[in-house]
């Protein structure tokens, strides 16, 4: 029971979608596709290699599938369908192609640090059957792709109204700003690593640019990307109150909010900030002082007395 408990919220999410009038068909198609995708490139490789890192290939390509399903089966206003479908495909390809590159270089075949940290978490919880724990974790991600992570796309893609809401405009602007923020953070970190390699310095802490204001600007930006999708979905969700039973409509709204919670927990506690910092504190001598000076997730000014000089 302890092993399968993480599955419950996502199984509930799948059931909610199956009981909707407007999203059941597209959700069923997506669920089947996610099951096949994860079976081929996540579940089977994990079983053969006992390496959980293959999730990093499956979940972004699952986003690509959500985008494609939305484009082909979305029955809403065509421009809205194309925009949200394209956003999902873009997000998925950006991470998915990067994951394939890591696989080609042999990194995925080894256990990535965030998944090594997961093994430590399992040990603390008394989960000794590692193969079962890995398959359940992978299934959680597959069910997330089949339920909550697809919810914004399917709700938006079902809205037939040609009228554009201010929520959609604000959400799209926030999505673009978040993507730019994340890209800048990634490029700053990459440039820092290249400089350290050229100078033959190891285990230094990146404290330049956006990394002066949050220890994980890329994770924060990824979270706001998903929050922007929720904002875009608000008017489409509101329009569903007349086509869906009241209880289902309310549950869909709660499901949208749950997307933000899921991504926050993942990016901070499960596969993001906490696992990363667990290993950084061990191998980077300056990281402890960095944690005292700079916020972990939400951006903020560092303490003035210790602010990095330009």
pLDDT in tens, 203-255: 999 999 999 999 999 999 999 999 999 999 999 999 999 999 999 999 999 99
Give me the count of residues in the chain: 310
CB 183 within 8 A of CB 259: no
Mean of pLDDT values over 2-17: 94
Burial class (CB in 10 A: 0-12, 13-18, 19+), 66: buried
pLDDT, residue 1, reads: 65
Distance CA 290, CA 110 (A): 29
Dihedral pair phi/psi, residue 283, rounded to 5°: -110, -10
pLDDT in tens, 33-79: 999 999 999 999 999 999 999 999 999 999 999 999 999 999 999 99
Of the ranges 1-15, 85-99, 178-192, which one carries the lowest mean pLDDT score? 1-15
Q: 225-260 b/e with 16+ CB inside 10 Å = b?
A: bbbbbbbbbbbbbebbeeebeeebbebbbebbebbb
pTM value surpassing 0.85: yes
Residue 255's alpha-carbon distances to 13, 92, 123, 147, 165, in angstroms, are: 7, 21, 31, 9, 21
């Amino acid at each position: 029971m302890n092993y399968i408990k993480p599955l419950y919220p996502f199984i509930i999410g799948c059931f909610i979608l199956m009981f909707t009038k407007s999203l059941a068909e597209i959700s069923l198609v997506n669920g089947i596709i996610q099951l096949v995708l994860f079976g081929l490139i996540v579940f089977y490789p994990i079983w053969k290699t006992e390496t959980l890192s293959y999730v990093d290939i499956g979940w972004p390509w699952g986003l690509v599938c959500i985008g494609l399903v939305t484009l082909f089966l979305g029955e809403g206003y065509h421009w809205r369908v194309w925009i949200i479908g394209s956003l999902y495909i873009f997000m998925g390809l950006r991470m998915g192609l990067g994951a394939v590159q890591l696989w080609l270089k042999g990194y995925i075949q080894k256990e990535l640090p965030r998944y090594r940290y997961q093994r430590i978490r399992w040990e603390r919880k008394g989960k000794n059957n590692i193969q079962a724990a890995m398959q359940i974790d992978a299934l959680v991600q597959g069910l997330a792709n089949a339920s909550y992570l697809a919810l914004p796309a399917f709700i938006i893609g079902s809205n037939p109204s040609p009228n554009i809401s201010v929520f959609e405009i604000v959400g799209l602007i926030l999505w673009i700003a978040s993507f730019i923020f994340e890209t800048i953070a990634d490029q700053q970190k990459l440039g820092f690593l290249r400089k350290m390699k050229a100078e033959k310095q190891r285990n230094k802490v990146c404290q330049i640019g956006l990394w002066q204001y949050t220890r994980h600007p890329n994770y924060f930006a990824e979270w706001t990307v998903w929050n922007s999708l929720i904002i875009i979905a608000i008017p489409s969700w509101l329009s569903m109150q007349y086509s869906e039973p009241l209880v289902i409509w309310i549950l869909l709204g709660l499901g949208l909010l749950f997307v933000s919670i899921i991504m926050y927990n993942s990016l901070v506690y499960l596969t993001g900030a906490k696992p990363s910092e667990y290993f950084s504190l061990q191998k980077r001598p300056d990281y402890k002082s960095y944690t005292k000076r700079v916020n972990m997730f939400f951006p903020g000014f560092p303490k003035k007395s210790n602010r990095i000089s330009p």
